[in-house]
Chain A
């Protein structure tokens, strides 16, 4: 079903204007093993229910944001614009969630 997605800048727009970068994942920290890296890269939760995911308003203002969407009905519950991650200092706290692209 086509649906509207609320862009943080442009308001509700048809989903065809956006590109979806998949569910929000957590990047492994430190020196991950091959299994940790490949799990992060390839394996997905693919939930049937509410999922937090990355979107970009590709054919509009090109803003990146996260949305909570119910994958069973495509109802968008909320959106959020995360702060940019910035360069990580050696003793920095863990990185925020990053898109799996």
Chain B
């Protein structure tokens, strides 16, 4: 009984940085922590250090809008995210940690014939891969989401939607903490406030990293640093086809729960869900210019609030509680870049734009397999950095045209 009241640390406090590790992971977000966790759990590789320049989960892992889904457009992307959703479904049990995952369904609204065609195309690709996804008409939307304004005399009347029942939301911080605790229990070292300042190379191979707490020797560096990917890859002399943009979101004050699906409109550049606490969580499109400044903009708040009110006029008097931004690493084809680079021993997980958080478990398992075996798993082969040199892109533009 007294065990119930004992304060337990989630993971060990930061220890001394040793001078050698088998694997160094740069970035203590959902991807870095998941990779470390699966390295230890699936492959028994525990001599791993996670180097994070700030606190764990301080970047994109703590700033996303927590949406999990698999209804992508390309077969490569859809299959990848299907496996990610499957892993998320069992993740709470795997990590022995409540992640508050609720698969409440995901509606991508179509306001035009073009929108319906895209939705149909995505539904076809999804169904061939066994993903639960279909096009629904206004009657079924009214049944799924009776609170939404479905009248026809508005700027963008709702003509139909792509309905994806397994789509849901999850507690993003809990995912980070669960992975950190799981990795720590397997012996992985987590080093917050340890910034990588250089990557040592010799004969086309990684030999170590320089950090603000001294040098570390290693043969394997995994960069999972989202918006800062280019800067870390620069240290290794590896060019990336990445531009860094900000993505913004805001929450309203909590109101009585009435929305139990996630609503996305790519025409209006807005996606809306209601959290367990009753707050409306609203996100939008990335800003079109590159920037590393994570300050929010008023114009974002203005247009996303306006578009939200088009769909949910009843929120008119609800106040905005807070607004934030995150840095996104955008690739030219809106698909991730995952795996080997031209520098031996330097792996990247980048190009995640606005869809990285929902991929964390599958990135972790596949990257861990790549580190352990040296072979690129079939699932992530289409996402190699090399595709930009050979011009064999994986265009996910239609599905990712609205971000989340």
> Which A positions have Cβ atoms within 8 angstroms of B?
1-2, 14-16, 19-20, 22-23, 34-35, 37-39, 41-46, 48, 51, 53, 71-74
Residues in A neighbouring B243, C-beta threshold 8 A: 22, 44, 46
Q: Chain A: interface secondary structure?
A: mixed
Is the C-beta of B152 less than 8 angstroms from some C-beta in chain A? no
- A14 to B296 Cα, complex, angstroms: 14
- A48 to B227 Cα, complex, angstroms: 11
> What are the 5 tightest A-B residue pairs by CB atom distance, in nearest-first order?
A1-B295, A20-B289, A42-B241, A46-B230, A2-B297
Is the C-beta of B298 less than 8 angstroms from some C-beta in chain A? yes
Residues in B neighbouring A44, C-beta threshold 8 A: 230, 240-243
Query: Given A1-B295, A2-B297, are A43 and B290 neighbors across the interface (CB < 8 Å)?
Result: no
Residues in B neighbouring A39, C-beta threshold 8 A: 239, 389
B348 to chain A, nearest CB (A): 13
Is the C-beta of B244 less than 8 angstroms from some C-beta in chain A? yes
Contact B299 A2 (CB under 8 A): yes
- A72 to B228 Cα, complex, angstroms: 12
A33 to chain B, nearest CB (A): 10
Contact A19 B288 (CB under 8 A): yes
Contact B299 A23 (CB under 8 A): no
Most B-side CB within 10 Å, residue of A14, A34, A73, A74:
A74
> Which B positions have Cβ atoms within 8 angstroms of A?
230-231, 239-244, 288-293, 295-299, 332, 388-391
Residues in B neighbouring A48, C-beta threshold 8 A: 230-231, 244, 292
Residues in B neighbouring A16, C-beta threshold 8 A: 299
Residues in A neighbouring B291, C-beta threshold 8 A: 71-72, 74
Contact A46 B242 (CB under 8 A): yes
Contact A22 B290 (CB under 8 A): yes
Residues in B neighbouring A1, C-beta threshold 8 A: 293, 295-297
Query: Given A2-B299, A34-B390, A44-B242, are A72 and B288 neighbors across the interface (CB < 8 Å)?
Result: no
- A36 to B67 Cα, complex, angstroms: 38
Contact A42 B388 (CB under 8 A): yes
Contact A2 B292 (CB under 8 A): no
- A23 to B299 Cα, complex, angstroms: 23
CB-CB nearest in chain B for A14: B299
B324 to chain A, nearest CB (A): 13
Contact B293 A74 (CB under 8 A): yes
CB-CB nearest in chain A for B289: A20
A77 to chain B, nearest CB (A): 15
Residues in B neighbouring A38, C-beta threshold 8 A: 388-391
Q: Of B293, B295, B389, which contacts A71 at CB under 8 A?
A: B293
What are 7 A-to-B residue pairs whose CB atoms are below 8 Å? A20-B288, A22-B290, A34-B390, A39-B389, A42-B332, A44-B243, A46-B243
A3 to chain B, nearest CB (A): 9
